[in-house]
Amino acid sequence: MCVPALLQRLVPLLLLFSLAATGLAADRAATEQVQVSLIAERNTISPGGEILIGLEQKIIPHWHTYWQNPGDSGLPTSINWQLPAGASAGPILWPLPGRHKQGALTNYGYAGRVMLLSAIKAPANAKPGSDFPVVAKASWLVCEEICIPQQAELSLTLKVGKPAGAAHPAILAARAAVPVDAPWPATVSHENGKVRLRIASPELAHGKLDDVWFYPLKWGKLVHGAPQSPSRDGDTLVLDMQPGEAPGLDGEPLEGVLAVTESSADGKLMRGFNLSARPLAASAAGATTNHTEIGLAAAFLLALAGGVILNLMPCVFPVLSIKALALIRHGVHADHGTRMHGLAYTAGIILSFLVLAALLLALRAGGAQIGWGFQFQTPGFVLAVAWLMFAIGLSLSGVYTLGNSVAGIGEALTEKPGYRGSFFAGVLAAIVATPCTAPFMGAAIAYALAQPAPHLIIVFTGLGLGLALPYLLLSNWPLLQRCLPRPGLWMERLKQVFAFPMYATALWLSWVLVQQAGADALLAAFGGMLVIAFAAWLFNGTRNASATQRRIATLIAVALIAAAGIVAGLQLQAAPTSAAASGHAADETWQAYSEDTLQALRAEGKPVFLNFTAAWCITCLANERVALSKDKIIAAFKEQGITYLKGDWTNQDAAITRKLAEFGRNGVPLYVFYPAGKDSKPVVLPQLLTPDIVLEHIRPSH
């Protein structure tokens, strides 16, 4: 058994054999080390009313008493109240403790002077004018190099009546020293052998703090004397701490007090905040799990599975048209060239995901709060992808041909020079896949973004490999290739048909742009497409011209597109950057999410349904269309009194990013249901919804 645990078990035995200091019942008593007194907020207490009574300890230098979690050794002070019939006493309101080193041990407690408050409540039938006697039997342990258990019985008598006069100044000062409930959400995770506490507080993250320390309420959660290393992650304060003998983070919140010391004009200012940090994250069944503890191998496999499923997500469908034509062409050449096309396509996807991983690492190092699909929160990126989809559609329609370049990735894939086409098809697949979050991806990405760079790169490689896997298997498995139809003239028609999903994607992205930057952004999107169409026509019209004429036409086309890009960029820079500015407002069925609104509803015990979505997330839009906007779902919400809150992540929103992180997510969609009751546990729904799935999770029995 370790020394701290042994000491904790021996101290109660010492109490049986120690000489305790006991005086006659009075409002004050003294031992050699501690003077104690009982102080009331006022001399009167009203029938059914409540007042604060404090046990004050004045401790001689170099000695200390203990907090509710004494640390490596010791015992907290206890008070046994004896009150009139029908009266009650609340728990001790512990002021902020300090740290006391005794050799290898670190204890939490008080030195000098401390006031331990308790709320005393009189019965409603207390007779006005009668006496209200209060007796407190206090026991404490006071330590220097040795520890002495002591006790005293204190008493005072109040009058039952209307409160009169000002509150006792010592009580007011003691009440101010009691930690307040933290206004910020906090999460805890187990990462790299550390307990990581994340507090979503811009005030703390950007403040000039002299000292930060977290005191756990329960023994064994942390190593009490181990250093606690603070750092900043965007608007989040992060504390890395060493787990104790009984960390118990699986499904259990980490509760404690955060002590913050700051410099002010009046000297050092110390503040205390009560924290209840939820473990990252909640599972679909509502049980809290820690996604950061899944391990690298499990995260890689989850990413691989999520990447495979991405091929079935609607956001990747436009690229499937290009892949389908390539597979059909490969079906008649089951040779080395076909396999090389599969490898080139895989390389394009994996390289794209590695570039994305590098960008995420750079942004994270700069303190940015980021998530999966973050690039689609930038209007300029959305516009560029919309134009790219439109340009590819024109190529598939036969308006122009660029051979093996990016826009011609569906052409000549069976020729060796066409490997570039397969490579850029992979790049395009990766770009269009990033707005979606497939099942299994949430845990893997949450793990990756919380880990060092090598782990993140490995997980993102697994994700890219999963996305490329179906095409890679078909290009290397002759048996599967025999199942493909024979090539023929029909392929040209089919290629032209596949242009229309590209146009549809361009239109959808234009709509996303309007949600982000307002209706005027539509002019930038459609104006640019008009310029691209003209440039394509001009370029294609010079196919049979001289080399000089083709170069001139190419320069003119590139100049027109560049000019359109500059004009669009200036227009987007001056455009509004919020969904509210574009009229994306709440209606009678839902309200806009804010953490204050959620906490207010939770405090009232009301059921709440959270929907975190984005205009660029096709999965989100499909779920709303298929499930959340259905009449029977709306009626069920109304019947059960469920408040429907919607968090729009179309543009960057740090509050939503922090909330996603609480559930181990770094992207949308995320659906969370809080059942009725202040202490109810949240239930996380699957990422693909149907009306029956929603109804199943919001049933009152859940």
Q: Return the number of other C-beta atoms located less than 10 Å from residue 340's C-beta.
A: 16
Q: Which long-range contacts (CB under 8 A, 24 or more apart) does 29-32 make?
A: 29/152, 29/153, 29/154, 31/142, 31/148, 31/150, 31/152, 32/60
pLDDT tens figures, 438-449: 566 766 776 776
Phi, psi of 77, rounded to the nearest 5 degrees: -65, 140
SS3 assignment for 188-214 = EEEECCEEEEEECCHHHHCCCEEEEEE
Spell out the domains of the chain, with CATH numbers in brackets. Answer: 3-177 (2.60.40.1250), 181-279 (2.60.40), 292-498 (no CATH), 584-698 (3.40.30.10)
Of 576, 597, 595, residue with least CA distance to 650: 576
In DSSP notation, 133-184 reads: EEEEEEEEEEESSSEEEEEEEEEEEEEES---SPPPHHHHHHHHHSPEEPSS
How big is the CA angle at 606 (ends 602 and 609), to the nearest 5 degrees? 85
Per the DSSP assignment, residues forming a β-bridge with 147 are: 143
* pLDDT value at 700 more than 60: yes
Per-residue pLDDT at 96: 94
Of 253, 283, 280, 289, residue with least CA distance to 697: 283
pLDDT tens figures, 485-515: 555 566 667 677 777 877 887 887 888 777 7
Per-residue pLDDT at 69: 93
pLDDT tens figures, 151-190: 999 999 999 998 877 889 999 999 999 999 888 888 888 7
For residue 189, give Cα distances in angstroms to 248, 267, 284. 11, 35, 18
HSE, CB side, 13 Å, CA atoms: give it for residue 62. Answer: 4
pLDDT tens figures, 362-404: 766 654 455 565 566 677 777 887 887 788 778 778 787 654 3
pLDDT tens figures, 615-639: 777 778 778 888 898 889 999 999 9
pLDDT tens figures, 45-60: 999 999 999 999 999 9
- Taking residues 205-231, report their average pLDDT: 88
Cα 54 to Cα 36: distance, rounded to the nearest angstrom: 10
Per-residue pLDDT at 529: 87
* pLDDT band with cut points at 50, 70 and 90 for residue 244: confident
Q: What DSSP character marks residue 253?
A: -
Mean pLDDT of the residues in the chain: 78
